[in-house]
């Protein structure tokens, strides 16, 4: 489990709430389709099966992450369910928040540099920039 997920789970478990509401652990995955224009026909015929394999692998990884995080919260006595969805994480989380009328969204931060945020994007920055609800960003403790 990535450190940012563990940090976010620790924050959820420590929230001083009277009645701990059920928690939904959301894990999103997205796989970009390779362009096939300008590719040799033999290679082009291999792109689609490779893409399907990538989607299956990414979905499996997202499900494993959601299941592990859910189990970790349950071990702490918190009612939790897992959910996976396909698409950019910030968009999927914002959609879930709106559909379920979520009061608090807790996300982990990877601590990306400016260049990494530009290249990879930052889910937490996107959600804080245009918050769909209250957002708590849990950062990794410094070493």
The answer to whether the pTM exceeds 0.85 is: no
DSSP state of 12: H
Q: Mean pLDDT across the chain, nearest whole number?
A: 80
Exposed, middle or buried, 59 (CB in 10 Å: 0-12/13-18/19+)?
Answer: middle
CATH at 135: 3.40.50.620
122-137 pLDDT per residue, tens: 788 788 888 888 888 8
Q: How many CB atoms sit inside 10 A of residue 69's CB?
A: 23
Instruction: Write out the residue range of the structural domain in which residue 77 sits.
Output: 3-139
Segment 14-41 shows an average pLDDT of 76
- Decide: 142 and 15 in contact? Cβ < 8 Å: no
Segment 25-53 shows an average pLDDT of 78
Q: How many domains does the chain have?
A: 1
Closest CA to 65 of 16, 108, 112: 108
- The pLDDT, as a whole number, for residue 94 is 92
62-90 pLDDT per residue, tens: 999 999 999 988 998 889 999 999 999 89
85-105 pLDDT per residue, tens: 999 989 999 999 999 998 888
């Amino acid at each position: 489990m990535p450190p940012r997920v563990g940090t976010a789970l620790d924050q959820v478990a420590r929230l001083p709430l009277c009645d701990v509401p059920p928690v939904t652990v959301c894990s999103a995955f997205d796989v970009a389709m390779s362009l096939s224009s300008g590719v040799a026909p033999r290679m082009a015929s291999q792109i689609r099966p490779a893409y399907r394999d990538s989607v299956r692998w990414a979905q499996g990884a997202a499900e494993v992450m959601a299941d592990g995080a859910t189990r970790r919260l349950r071990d702490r006595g918190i009612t939790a369910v897992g959910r996976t969805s396909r698409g950019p994480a910030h968009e999927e989380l914002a959609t879930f928040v709106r559909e379920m009328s979520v009061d608090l969204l807790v996300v982990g931060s990877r601590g990306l540099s400016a260049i990494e945020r530009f290249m990879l994007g930052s889910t937490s920055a996107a959600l804080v920039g245009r918050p769909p609800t209250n957002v708590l960003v849990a950062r990794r403790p410094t070493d």
